Amino acid sequence: MQATQETQFSLLAMLHGHIVAAVESYLASTFIHKVTNSEALIRKLIETDPVFSKIKFTLKEIYEKHENLPLPVASYLRDLIFHDIAKVKAMFTEVLGCDFCDITWLLKR
């Protein structure tokens, strides 16, 4: 039995969605695991991500913030949407030193 053209299109659309979700999940879990388990990578993330450059606190809070640094970093990364591949590419390059090379084909809509 041959599937109709409409059924084939629906299947391809569903497969596309699953592949995108799987790639996003892989990128997120890999990045979060690597960064939150390394003080050096936490520092690189904080130094390169514009969200962290806006955070202010007093001198009194320095040691408290430093001791608990992995917690807000992990929370920030869990809330981050890894669907924005341009931002994710920059983060992987700046923090992990992993360059995705030319992915302009992936950014086309």
The HSE-up count of residue 106 (CA atoms within 13 Å, CB side) is 14
Domain that holds residue 35: 5-107
pLDDT by position in tens, the chain (length 109): 677 899 999 999 999 899 989 989 999 999 999 999 999 999 999 999 988 888 888 888 888 888 888 888 999 999 988 888 888 899 999 999 998 888 887 767 6
Domain count, the chain: 1
DSSP notation for 46-106: HHH-HHHHT----GGGHHHHHHTTHHHHHHHHHHS-TT-HHHHHHHIIIII-------HHH
